[in-house]
């Protein structure tokens, strides 16, 4: 029996799945993680916690699947992106196959917000945001890795002097599993130190910020074998010594693989607390902006489809911050006793356009399509005749229209959308699935798997282990579609008209929202 193990190091939990070569899920398990917030806006985790959760999840999933570790042909890793793990020289010289590797401090995570000043200096050092996007594919955001490295160097110089290497969250776990330190092109693309076009570290970026490139890990394609399970890790996890472990990738890239989004024109739209649009691209496409449009609204990354023999492709990612989270806010604030199913049924009974009521879902600032920390949410057009159903429909439409704006940015930079695969909470109700088809204007599909990044990591392990020749073959063999919904022409015409009104609101409200932020800070 040929089985594959996928591990996803998330923010709230580490998940492990075991599947066979047909994509059939045999078992899944997860182990919770604890985050630290020493100060407001700071977010950290202990890397040792990732390792402990990995051991627990792997042991549980193997026991639940009732399989021998000899049947596991390969291991793949997915992980939260951008986090900074700092390693001392002693850990790199460890001879125990990763047993002694200890981070110098807790990792700064993707959602840590302490690095605003470093981001400003990064863009200033290269001449501006557009110039930075041209160099490394992305604008400087607090969540990315380079600002974190600079913050530690500036605020903890004695600790920084001990740093012999840094890596990303899933790379630390792979180091523990194999004793070999490396990263992959997808995760590396989210550091601001990577030449996304050339799929290699940018010596120019390292030099600009006086960072020795020797500190950065070796970069591999995502499906390439990065190492093998060491004797020590085998004893700790129950896996077989010598099992190949592929490089893996970030959770967005692995999630796209897990949904079968590995070819041009196909897009993944995930509506969780935040909303993420991911598109596959045959070549690197950068959002350079023009006129008053800022550069870097969407992220140019490397796709997780390369192997040890063949270079992979690229991707675009756009993230809005309050997607299904907007609906959760509405319910919890106004009618927490009403089930979601009832609220969505009431919204479905309202005509498209919500009776002239529009909702802007910028409840926690915004990242895409408007990179603006001072953006605010709003109901516009509210009248006394609007009901609870109108409010709910306006929220669902506002979130979906914002996702459509991200698709429009993709189109502007040359990445077209022909079909959208759906994930997250917004994919669970027929009403919201159909609304997405009507707003996006293309067919939407529901894939037959919900395990996302962990399942994608397992498929990548299969490619590395030789089960399939490439990711396209792996997805074709294992992923299908359980439902397709076509856009309705009449409803689509309503949303095309509404898009014009909706698109004009953010620019008009930007100034007032920035002024109102002063009162928010006083509260």
Query: What does the alpha-carbon distance between residue 185 and residue 241 come to, in Å, rounded to a whole number?
Result: 26
CA 35 to chain centroid, in Å, comes to: 18
Q: Are 102 and 50 in contact (CB under 8 A)?
A: no
CA distances to 27, 74, 192, 236, 456 from 19, rounded to whole Å, are 7, 11, 34, 22, 11
pLDDT value at residue 245: 99
Backbone angles phi, psi at 373, to 5 degrees: -65, -20
pLDDT in tens, the chain (523 residues): 899 999 999 999 999 999 999 999 999 999 999 999 999 889 999 999 999 999 999 999 999 999 999 999 999 999 999 999 999 986 665 545 566 778 999 999 998 989 999 999 999 999 999 999 999 999 999 989 999 999 999 999 999 999 999 999 999 999 999 999 999 999 999 999 999 999 999 999 999 999 999 999 999 999 999 999 999 999 999 999 999 999 999 999 999 999 999 999 999 999 998 999 999 999 999 999 988 889 999 999 999 999 988 999 999 999 999 999 999 999 999 999 999 999 999 999 999 999 999 999 999 889 899 988 889 999 999 999 999 999 999 999 999 999 999 999 999 999 999 999 999 988 999 999 999 999 999 999 999 998 889 999 999 999 999 999 999 999 999 999 999 999 999 999 999 999 999 999 999 999 998 888 888 765 4
Q: Does domain 3-256 have CATH number 3.40.50.11440?
A: no
* Of 315, 308, 272, 321, nearest in space to 413 by CA: 315
The answer to whether 41 and 521 are in contact (CB under 8 A) is no
Predicted TM-score of the model (pTM): 0.93
SS3 of 502, please?
Answer: helix
pLDDT at 232: 94
pLDDT of residue 517: 81
What are the residue numbers of the active site? 251
> Which H/E stretch holds residue 513?
helix 489-522
| Residues 177 and 75: beta-carbon distance below 8 Å | yes
| Contacting residues for 24 by C-beta, under 8 A, at least 6 apart | none
C-alpha pair distances (Å), 427 with each of 106, 250, 272: 35, 22, 9
d(CA 484, CA 369): 27
The pLDDT value recorded for residue 93 is: 59
Q: What is the pLDDT of residue 291?
A: 80
Which pLDDT score, from 0 to 100, does residue 290 have?
84
Closest Cα partner for 426 from 358, 347, 366? 347
- Sorted by where each begins, the domain ranges of the chain are 3-256
- What CA–CA distance (Å, rounded) separates 85 from 83? 7
Query: Distance between CA atoms of 6 and 90, rounded to whole angstroms?
Result: 29
């Amino acid at each position: 029996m040929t089985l594959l193990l996928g591990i996803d190091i998330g923010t709230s939990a580490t998940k492990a799945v075991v599947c066979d070569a047909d994509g059939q899920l045999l078992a899944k398990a997860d182990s919770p993680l604890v985050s630290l917030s020493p100060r407001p806006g700071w977010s950290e985790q202990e890397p040792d916690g990732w390792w402990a959760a990995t051991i627990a999840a792997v042991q549980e999933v193997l026991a639940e699947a009732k399989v021998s570790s000899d049947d596991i042909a390969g291991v793949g890793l997915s992980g939260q992106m951008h986090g900074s793990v700092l390693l001392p020289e002693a850990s790199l010289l460890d001879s125990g196959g990763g047993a002694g590797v200890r981070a110098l401090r807790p990792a700064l995570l993707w959602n840590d917000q302490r690095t605003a000043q470093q981001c400003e200096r990064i863009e200033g050092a290269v001449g501006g945001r557009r110039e930075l996007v041209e160099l490394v594919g992305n604008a400087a955001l607090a969540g990315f890795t380079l600002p974190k490295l600079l913050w530690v160097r500036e605020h903890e110089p004695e600790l920084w002097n001990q740093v012999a290497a840094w890596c990303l969250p899933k790379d630390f776990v792979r180091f523990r599993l194999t004793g070999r330190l490396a990263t992959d092109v997808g995760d590396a693309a989210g550091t601001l130190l990577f030449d996304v076009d050339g799929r290699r570290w940018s010596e120019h970026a390292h030099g600009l910020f006086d960072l020795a490139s020797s500190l950065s890990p070796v970069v591999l394609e995502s499906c390439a074998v990065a190492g093998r399970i060491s004797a020590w890790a085998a004893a700790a996890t129950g896996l077989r010594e010598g099992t190949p472990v592929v490089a893996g990738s970030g959770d967005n890239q692995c999630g796209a693989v897990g949904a079968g989004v590995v070819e041009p024109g196909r897009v993944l739209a995930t509506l969780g607390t935040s909303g993420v649009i991911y598109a596959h691209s045959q070549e690197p496409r950068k959002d350079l902006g023009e006129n008053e449009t800022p550069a870097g609204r969407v992220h140019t990354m490397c796709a997780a489809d390369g192997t040890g023999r063949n270079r992979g492709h690229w991707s675009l990612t756009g993230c809005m911050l309050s997607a299904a989270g907007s609906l959760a806010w509405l319910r919890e604030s106004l009618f927490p006793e009403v089930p979601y199913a009832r609220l969505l049924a009431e919204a479905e009974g309202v005509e498209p356009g919500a009776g002239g009521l529009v909702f802007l879902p910028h409840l926690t600032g915004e990242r895409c399509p408007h990179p603006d920390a001072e953006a605010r949410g709003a109901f516009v057009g509210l009248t006394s005749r609007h009901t609870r159903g109108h409010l709910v429909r306006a929220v669902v439409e506002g979130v979906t229209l914002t996702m459509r704006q991200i698709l429009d940015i993709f189109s502007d930079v040359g990445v077209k959308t022909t079909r959208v695969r759906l994930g997250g909470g917004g994919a669970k109700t027929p009403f919201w699935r159909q609304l997405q088809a009507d707003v996006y204007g293309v067919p939407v599909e529901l894939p037959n798997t919900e395990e996302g990044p962990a399942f994608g990591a397992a498929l990548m392990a299969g490619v590395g282990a030789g089960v399939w020749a490439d990711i396209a073959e792996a997805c074709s063999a294992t992923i299908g579609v359980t439902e397709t919904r076509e856009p309705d022409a009449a409803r689509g015409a309503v949303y095309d008209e509404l898009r014009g009104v909706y698109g004009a609101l953010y620019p008009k409200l930007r100034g007032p929202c920035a002024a109102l932020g002063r009162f928010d800070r006083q509260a």
